[in-house]
């Protein structure tokens, strides 16, 4: 079979590999579609602190079961599956209190172990989520990024009462926008790429702010009548934006949910957090949110078609990554097909 491998930063190639053996607790999946995520691009460019090389990347993937291990109870040959890429130990502190997504030895397919950019992949039964055979594969491949949207809604305790700011209108920011509008919140979104803000407008954003031409603090004053945002998502990965989010943009008792994982340090003042009783909330991956997202897809509550902008055959992954890098104004989510 063929596999796409990042051998070392900036070196991606298609190689021949043996079809993986499965254990009694695994199924063999024939991969049908896989999304390209910013973190896959980060691994390719050597900018992901969690990744090791060489690596078959891809954590947003779906496929069909072609072989089933003897102990597997939740799948049969022919099932369509969305794979939750998060693997945890089950007995550390985080696992015990129900945060397996931040397990002390969390292991993510496509990051810490080989992922979905290969024709066949062995998957543990705990990671299998059944999906309808009616969902097109390239749409199903967005279930994983939507699981981030579900996770951040839980982490931020998002409700219809909230006035929300989303910083960043990339695929993740736009998915959060869809989730926040589905929940009935009032939403502003910030970016510096006009085409992405146009897309946000079409998706129902109540206010779009281009940070290049409009001061976000002025925009906040007008949009919230000076109260500030109740809930802020930092989904640009830029620490200067996070700093502004903490110092200038939240309401009293506001929550700030941090998605980016920059390692750059920046100053914060205790008083800004203390005086408003701010909550600064981390969020990572997803905590068994696939069933919720699959339900949203089934009920048509979110619009995954709006996020998928391009498809490439997986053997052209190098071209797809290059296209992704060079067309920020046109691309949201590229799906690799098999
Ligand atoms: N915590 C998690 O589990 C998790 C999961 C997925 C993604 N992420 C992170 O979330 C962030 C968003 O992911 P994405 O795939 O949408 O990334 P992306 O890079 O496609 O989107 C980021 C957006 O932020 C905008 N931006 C950058 N600098 C800006 C600035 N100074 N002012 C305004 N806008 C600015 C960019 O134009 C872009 O549209 C990334 O930092 C990613 O690493 C976190
Ligand atoms: Zn992703
Ligand atoms: Zn654990």
- Residues 27-37 have pLDDT tens digits of 999 999 999 99
Give the per-residue pLDDT at 193: 97
Checking if the pLDDT of 81 tops 90, the result is yes
Does 250 or 52 have the greater pLDDT score? Answer: 250
CA of residue 172 to ligand 1 center, whole Å: 7
Give the per-residue pLDDT at 48: 83
CA of residue 135 to ligand 3 center, whole Å: 32
The residues pairing with 208 across neighbouring beta strands, listed in sequence order, are 189
Give the per-residue pLDDT at 52: 87
Domain 157-282 in CATH: superfamily? NAD(P)-binding Rossmann-like Domain (3.40.50.720)
Confidence bin at 49 (pLDDT 50/70/90) = confident
What are the pLDDT digits (tens) for 180-198?
999 999 999 999 999 999 9
Give the per-residue pLDDT at 50: 81
Return the best residue to mutate from 42, 153, 168 for the ligand 1 pocket (most ligand atoms within 8 A of CB). 168
Structure tokens at 191: 């970016």
285 lines ligand 1 (CB under 6 A): yes
Checking if the pLDDT of 60 tops 90, the result is yes
Give the orientation angle of helix 143-155 with respect to helix 290-299, to 10 degrees.
110
Across the chain, mean pLDDT equals: 97
Third-level CATH fold of 2-146+286-337: Quinone Oxidoreductase; Chain A, domain 1 (3.90.180)
What are the pLDDT digits (tens) for 86-108?
999 999 999 999 999 999 999 99
pLDDT (average), residues 54-58: 96
Q: Do domains 2-146+286-337 and 157-282 have the same CATH topology?
A: no
Q: How would you label 31-62 residue by residue, b for 16+ Cβ within 10 Å and e otherwise?
A: bbbbbbbbbbbbbbeeebeebeeebbbbbbbb
Domain map (residue ranges) of the chain: 2-146+286-337, 157-282
Separation CA 68–CA 77 (nearest Å): 7
Give the orientation angle of helix 194-202 with respect to helix 171-182, to 10 degrees.
20
27 lines ligand 1 (CB under 6 A): no
The number of residues in the chain equals: 338
pLDDT (average), residues 283-300: 98
- What SS3 class is residue 310? strand
Structure tokens at 54: 């060489």
187 lines ligand 1 (CB under 6 A): no
- The ligand with the least distance to the CA atom of 60 is 2
Checking if the pLDDT of 287 tops 90, the result is yes
Checking if the pLDDT of 142 tops 90, the result is yes
Give the per-residue pLDDT at 162: 98
Confidence bin at 113 (pLDDT 50/70/90) = very high
Confidence bin at 51 (pLDDT 50/70/90) = confident
């Amino acid at each position: 079979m063929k596999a796409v491998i990042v051998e070392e930063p900036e070196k991606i190639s298609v190689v021949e590999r043996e079809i993986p053996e499965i254990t009694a607790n695994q199924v063999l999946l024939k991969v049908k579609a896989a999304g390209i995520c910013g973190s896959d691009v980060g691994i390719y460019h050597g900018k992901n602190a969690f990744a090791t090389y060489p690596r078959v990347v891809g954590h947003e993937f779906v496929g069909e079961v072609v072989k089933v291990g003897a102990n597997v109870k939740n799948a049969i040959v022919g099932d369509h599956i969305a794979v939750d890429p998060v693997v945890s130990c089950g007995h550390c502190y985080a696992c015990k209190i129900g945060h397996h997504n931040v397990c002390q030895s969390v292991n993510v397919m496509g990051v810490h172990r080989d992922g979905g950019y290969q024709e066949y992949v062995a998957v543990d039964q705990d990671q299998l989520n059944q999906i309808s055979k009616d969902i097109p594969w390239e749409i199903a491949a967005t279930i994983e990024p939507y699981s981030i949207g579900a996770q951040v809604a839980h982490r931020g305790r998002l409700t219809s009462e909230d006035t929300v700011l989303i910083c960043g209108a990339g695929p993740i920011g736009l998915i959060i926008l869809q989730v926040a509008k589905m929940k009935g919140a009032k939403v502003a979104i910030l970016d510096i790429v006009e085409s992405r803000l146009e897309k946000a407008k079409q998706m129902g954003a109540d206010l779009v702010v281009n940070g290049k031409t409009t001061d976000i603090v002025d925009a906040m004053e007008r949009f919230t009548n000076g109260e500030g945002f109740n809930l802020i998502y930092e989904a640009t990965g830029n620490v200067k934006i996070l700093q502004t989010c903490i110092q200038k943009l939240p309401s009293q008792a506001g929550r700030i949910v941090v998605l980016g994982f920059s390692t750059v340090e920046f100053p914060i003042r205790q008083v800004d957090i203390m005086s408003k009783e701010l909550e600064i909330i981390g969020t990572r991956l997803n905590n068994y949110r696939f069933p919720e997202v699959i339900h949203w897809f089934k009920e048509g509550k979110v619009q995954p078609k709006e996020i998928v902008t391009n498809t490439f055959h997986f053997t052209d992954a190098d071209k797809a990554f290059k296209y992704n890098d060079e067309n920020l104004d046109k691309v949201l989510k590229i799906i690799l097909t098999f």
